[in-house]
Amino acid sequence: MTTQLIKSSDRGYADHGWLKSFHSFSFADYYDPARMGFGPLRVINEDKVAPGKGFGTHGHRDMEIISYVLSGELAHKDSMGNGEAGAANAGVIRPGDVQRMSAGTGVMHSEFNNAKETTHFLQIWIQPDHRGIAPSYEQKHFDAASKRGKLRLVAANDGEAQAQGAVTIHADAKLYAGLFDGAEQAELALADGRLAYIHVVRGSLNVNGQDLTAGDALQVREASRLALTAGRDAEVLVFDLAA
């Protein structure tokens, strides 16, 4: 097993006034040739959006985009009709929600914080298996009980996502979310040749003997399992990725 610890303080940072953003990988004006992604995982941005502010309409293509809200709320509107009055998907995401947008051949969207408090969320990009798919959108809620002391699958590719109630991503990747405190612990088996990326959202946690605190991440290669222990008010995202 080989591991690489990425400390929270090693991330890129941008302060736009209304938006404060930490970049785990190269993004926008932050560029590090050694931090261009990990397997198909391309972006993890930890964003704080001021009340009444947000990202105006802009386009994406050929990317699986996941939003994970930690506090506050984020209103999403797109060219597929999500977020419009009477649409099947209201487009507002709150803590516990996982939103997935497959940009595919191209989609325009906006994201705004219409609440009176700062919205704190993670924006995640995963490179798809195939380019040029039809754009699509999905949103599901995973309550705290489903993640307490365990790793809950929240995103996966077709078959497993449908079987376990996760959102569907068009990539060879799985995303788990977990909450750990005190004696709570979990293990995750990894198939041969898989990569794992562990991002601690808040609190602190020990992963395979490595202590991590909020904003830290651990890249893992050539491991057969992950052991998560010694959590202190920890929330964590774990990615199981193709090499």
pLDDT tens-place string over residues 48-86: 999 999 999 999 999 999 999 999 999 999 999 998 877
CA pseudo-torsion sign 65, 100, 21, 10: negative
CATH number of 143's domain: 2.60.120.10
Helix, strand, coil percent values for the chain (each to nearest 5) = 5, 55, 40
| Strand positions, DSSP E, 25-88 | 41-49, 54-60, 64-71, 74-78
Q: Count how many Cα atoms sit within 13 Å of the Cα of residue 232 in the half-sphere of its side chain.
A: 7
pLDDT, position 47: 98
pLDDT, position 158: 80
Residues of the chain under the 50 pLDDT cut: none
Rounded to whole angstroms, how far apart are CA atoms 210 and 229? 10
Closest CA to 202 of 211, 191, 213: 213
Domains in the chain, number: 1
Residue 125, strand partner residues: 43, 65
Rounded to whole angstroms, how far apart are CA atoms 177 and 168? 15
pLDDT, position 201: 98
- In terms of residue numbers, what domain contains 74? 2-241
For tokens 């509107």, name the residue. Answer: 77
pLDDT, position 89: 75
pLDDT, position 15: 98
Residue 91 has what DSSP assignment?
-
pLDDT, position 28: 96
pLDDT, position 69: 97
pLDDT, position 62: 98
pTM for this structure?
0.96
> Using an 8 Å Cβ cutoff, are 149 and 187 in contact?
no
pLDDT, position 203: 98
pLDDT, position 87: 72
Rounded to whole angstroms, how far apart are CA atoms 82 and 80? 6
pLDDT, position 85: 78
Q: Which tokens hold the place of 76?
A: 């999403």
Rounded to whole angstroms, how far apart are CA atoms 28 and 58? 14
> Using an 8 Å Cβ cutoff, are 45 and 22 in contact?
yes
Rounded to whole angstroms, how far apart are CA atoms 19 and 224? 39
pLDDT, position 177: 98
> Using an 8 Å Cβ cutoff, are 76 and 108 in contact?
no
